[in-house]
Homo-oligomer: A and B are copies of this chain.
């Protein structure tokens, strides 16, 4: 068996577990989002703002992946929602088995929203389905507008680009329209929201997107009512 065959077999086993997860999430009506980006693009800060702004009563659980450290889990746990760290110990991505193993009793207890912060890496996490409803790619304006062209895989698979750290636009040579055009060259359907976790710009739009997706999922699958008063 050569390396390619082994990789295919690993991905096929991952897809089987991801499909089971998706079925369980669909039955419960819970929305699951998989956040993927370079290291340092602001995934954890965006999730902190998200947890801060979520409407009261929404049952949210968070999984956060890292190669080492539980820094992110400790940051996110301050907002009062259950958070579990997945430390991969060298592996460059989360896979469906890791998510399955760390959901523990959460699926039985029930929740409305699962936020999965992947390992900071624009390449490998793209190949691993985690049973999520949507992948969200975060691009910070300090990284350059060419990234959608250089890492097309994640832009093809994501439904939304969060163009983050727009408060730094005056200080970096970043052409926002070119970045938007590059993302749409790879995926003409992709949605784009510009945000800053420092000034709060764009966060209401992001929360509206999230609220709309949560309602859509809950009404498609579950029997429970989700509190989704869009915060502004």
Contact = CB atoms under 8 A, between A and B. Distances in A.
Contacts of A143: 38-40
A95 to B, nearest CB: 12
Interface stretch (A23-31, A120-128, A187-195): A120-128
A1 interface: yes
Interface string A143-185: 1101101111100000000000101100110000000000000
Interface SS of A by simple majority: loop
A165 B147 CA distance: 18
A107 interface: no
A54 to B, nearest CB: 23
Contacts of A67: 123, 150-153
A165 B151 contact: no
B39 A147 contact: yes
A189 B41 CA distance: 28
Contacts of A3: 6, 10
B92 A147 contact: no
A9 B121 CA distance: 24
Contact of A150 (B6, B71, B146, B172): B71
A39 B155 CA distance: 14
Interface of A: 1-3, 6, 10, 38-41, 66-69, 71, 90, 92, 119-124, 140, 142-144, 146-147, 149-153, 165, 167-168, 171-172
Given A2-B6, A39-B147, A120-B151, 6 more contacts: A3-B6, A3-B10, A40-B143, A68-B149, A92-B124, A168-B168
9 contacts: A38-B38, A67-B151, A69-B146, A92-B92, A92-B124, A120-B151, A123-B124, A142-B168, A168-B168
